[in-house]
Structures are given as C-alpha cells and as structure tokens.
Amino acid sequence: MDDHGLDQTAEQPEGGPLERDSLFEAPPMVEQERMVEAVLFASSEPVTLRDLAGRMPHGCNPGEAVEHLRKRYEGRGVRVVRVGDAWAVRTAPDLGFLMQKEIVETRKLSRAAIETLAIIAYHQPVTRAEIEEIRGVSVSRGTIDQLLEMEWIRLGRRRMTPGRPVTFVVTPSFLDHFGLESARDLPGLKELRAAGLLENRPPPGALPIGHGEDGEHEIGEQPELFEE
C-alpha cells in the first residue's frame, strides 16, 4: 500500500517488520510483543512500562506492544490487564472455578475494615477524622494498621489544614486485588460524585456524630511534628 517505502518508522504497521536503516533499529513489533508477553507471563506482579522499556532493547515501544498483546488475549483463558501504570497477565475471572487448588485463604476483613477501605478508596486522600465522620464511630485501633499491613492503603500527603493531619490513599496492590485499572474505575464512582455523596460537607453548627468520645480527635487539633 505504501509504495515509496519510506513511510514513517514511528508509525509501525501492526506486526510490520522494520526496514533496517540503522544498526540499532528496534526489533519489529511482533518481536516486541513476544518480549512483552514473555516478561508479563514470567512475573507474578504487575510490570510497569518503564520497567519493560528498561529490559527490552533500545528503541522499543512497550506501550504499543502491550496494546497488541492485550487484544491478542481477548477472550482467552488468561488476559492482559492494566493495574495503575503497570501491566499483568491474570486468569479470566469466569474460570475461577478451576482454581480450587490455587485459592489463597485471605484473612477475613471485619465489616469496619471493609467500610474503612471503601471510604478510603472513594474519598481519597482522606484523613482519619473524615473516616470517623462518615462512619459515625471512631476508627478502632488496628483497622488502619491491618489495611496498611495488607498494603492496600498507604499514607498520602498531609492535609494542609490546621493540625496537618495525615491522609490515606489506596495502593496499586489494592487495584490489582480488585481487578481495577485505576481508582477512577471504582464501581459507581461517577454516580456517587454526581449525587454529591463524596463531598466533605461541614455540619451546620456542631453535630454530635462522628466525634469519637476520647482522645482520638486530638489528631485534628494537635500541632504536628513538622509544623513550622
């Protein structure tokens, strides 16, 4: 289709082999796809494009190769999925029934922990006081601890409000565990936002809800370590 041969190299036609006009020409896209396939299959954890680029020969375009690979595996027994800014191969969820042997019993999370996790995911970055305000009870010791330990949440930036409280956000392993490409893909996020349910509305006057009885709140009021 392309008669004067020199159509841009950058726009690689699918799988089209490269005309080698340089010693260090990147390998053809089919070859790049094979490489990505090998690396993603070999790793049980998601691999970033950056990491892929670091391993592949100079000049490769891992992003494009991943995209080809993803298409190739559509509808197959394993799939190429995106996790944050990384990629991984995972079995198709409808085949879970075959995997009785592989199932890992995870520690059962308490209702409080599940709700706290959901609040962090939907409201992130969110402070402890805000979680308490939403749930109407103080966050018990150990709940946050447990989520941190599972590496489903981590510390975000401190909130620039008095007391500069720490915030929590969810991690890539959280995304991986729940098969989410990004936190934007949380189910129902848009609807919740549109309904104003993710807003942090200050109560008119003082409401008794969400104010843990004892010292838990100091967080909000206490001058912080890195206060100037």
Partner 1 sequence: MSEQNLFDDVATQSVEERLAAEALIVDVEGYEGPLDLLLTLSRTQKVDLRRISVLELARQYLTFVDRAKELRIELAADYLVMAAWLAFLKSRLLLPPDPEEEGPSGEELAAHLAFQLERLQAMRDAAARLMGRDQRGRDFFARGKGEDVERIRSVTYSASLLDLMQGYARIRTKDDFRPFVMDRDSVYTMEEALERMRSLIGFTGSWTDMLSYLPDGWHTDPVRRRSATAATFAASLQLVKEGKLEIRQSESFSAIQLRSLDEEN
Residue 218 is a binding residue for partner 1 (CB under 8 A)? no
Residue 156 is a binding residue for a copy of itself (CB under 8 A)? yes
Helix (H, G, I), strand (E, B) or coil at 136: coil
Helix (H, G, I), strand (E, B) or coil at 13: coil
Q: What are phi and psi of 43, to 5 degrees?
A: -100, 135
Strand ranges for the chain from DSSP E: 47-48, 78-83, 86-91, 126-127, 153-155, 167-170
Q: Which of 114, 118, 195, 207 binds a copy of itself (CB under 8 A)?
A: 195
Closest of 34, 37, 39, 48 to residue 79, by C-alpha: 37
Residues in region 45-84 near a copy of itself by CB under 8 A = 55-56, 75-78
How many binding residues for partner 1 (CB under 8 A)?
Answer: 73
Report the distance separating Cα 68 and Cα 124, nearest Å. 33
- Residues forming beta bridges with residue 127, ordered by sequence position: 167
Residues in region 5-44 near partner 1 by CB under 8 A = 38, 41-44
Partner interacting with residue 63 (select from a copy of itself, partner 1, none; CB below 5-8 Å by kind): none
Shortest Å, Cβ 104 to a copy of itself: 11
Q: Which stretch binds a copy of itself (CB under 8 A): 2-10, 18-26, 110-118, 156-164?
A: 156-164
Maximum Cα interatomic distance, the chain, rounded to a whole number of Å: 79
Residue 45 is a binding residue for partner 1 (CB under 8 A)? yes
Residue pair 53/91 in contact by the 8 Å Cβ criterion? no
**Residues within the interface to a copy of itself (CB under 8 A):** 33-39, 41-44, 55-56, 75-78, 89, 91-92, 95, 98-102, 122, 128, 141-142, 144-145, 148, 154-158, 165-167, 171, 179-182, 184-191, 194-197, 210, 216, 218-220, 222, 224-228
